[in-house]
Structure 1
């Protein structure tokens, strides 16, 4: 009789617990910023599952969720993101979180261990007037020199990829409000809405003209 009772308890316990475990789902993912820069020490929370995870040095995480859940991605220098988990969600997900690009946030991103300083400096290639006061710069070249790491200024030339040849120009291609121009010295920093510095694959859309990199400037007038 005792044996039958034990078997009955095991049977009931097994089937009582099984539905709880069947509700769980394991999701693996990688958190990136600026398209391909992994974010370490980033917190992820499963809203319904009430579980959490932290990304490793390569931005990877593993978290237990419900089949229908919401993942919350929160960082001190990033915009919050949400991802719905359902039966169409793959077991491995990739999330690109938007870095709020300010000088203070660059320091915080490194200080919190989200990114390495060298990687961040080489990845940040976009600035707009909402992130910084462009009017404090004397001219457009001072603005570019002061805000983009690794970019050199020689006279009225912007050098993105270094000096390639003594005889050939190493100057970047200038595109202002969608039009290729030969000179940007007359642009007042106060009139600039945004600046993008492109190289490698980003500059390839301009063909051979973009071989030395591209400086894309959007002015407030051109945006109107």
Structure 2
């Protein structure tokens, strides 16, 4: 913190001759409240640049009517214009570039932790991805829920939710399709999926022992007629 304060004071003294300066503090998040670390933040006019800390926070010196540029390798770039109406604290929400691998790549780049990412995307809706890009329902689940595994292939494939300790012989999750418990979801077409919820914590207890391995809840657009043609 002392180093950050010293750097801020140095920037203030250097840029004061070029006009009014402001120190803008803020936080970068994604998926509503997931902190994004190591994210590049740059002030276009002042030239100051910094990366967010492990909690997604940053503090940067800006010039009058400056523009903050936010860049990350698997995220859409974002710009925030600094005006008199903006306070000295900003909250910036960034979006992933569409693609099944980008959320996993975000872990490798150090932007987010795997545990936090898994918890943050327990719900997936059509607004989050083009489900028709996936060949089957298991590829969709594998691609969009890091830490959730798919064992096997075809109608006998099983979804294994990481961190579950099974009390049953089977380790696959419980499947709930349009409010009805089913033995398999292999017939569900990704194009007909409206939303997917993965429950891996204590919330699954409402399903009793059947939910001991976690629950995959799928809501389809066409209801129970949602089958692959």
TM-score of the aligned structures, taking structure 2 as reference length:
0.60
For 2:189, the equivalent position in structure 1 comes to 189
Correspondent of 2:83 among 83, 86, 108:
86
Q: Offset at 1:115?
A: 1.4
Q: What CA distance in whole angstroms lies between the structure 2 residues aligned with 1:147 and 1:112? A: 17
Which structure 2 segments of 5+ residues have no match?
1-13, 151-155, 224-229
Q: Offset at 1:198?
A: 6.0
The count of corresponding residues between Structure 1 and Structure 2 is: 196
CA distance 1:143–1:63, change in 2 (3 Å): closer
The more displaced of 89-98 and 64-73 is: 64-73
For 2:55, the equivalent position in structure 1 comes to 58
Correspondent of 1:28 among 3, 22, 25:
25
Where 2:53 maps in the other structure, the secondary structure is coil
Which structure 1 segments of 5+ residues have no match?
1-16
RMSD of Structure 2 on Structure 1 (CA): 4.4
Where does 1:62-211 land on structure 2 (aligned, <5 Å)?
62-100=59-97, 102-125=99-122, 126=124, 128=126, 130=130, 133-135=133-135, 137=136, 140=137, 143-144=140-141, 147-149=144-146, 176=178, 180-181=179-180, 185=185, 188-197=188-197
Where 1:215 maps in the other structure, the secondary structure is strand
Q: Offset at 1:117?
A: 2.4
- Given that residues 101 and 143 in structure 2 are in contact (C-alpha distance below 8 angstroms), is that contact kept between their aligned partners in structure 1? no
TM-superposition CA deviations, 1:178-204 (whole Å, max 9, x none)? xx555584853243355332659xxx9
CA distance 1:194–1:51, change in 2 (3 Å): farther
For 2:10, the equivalent position in structure 1 comes to none
Q: Offset at 1:80?
A: 1.3
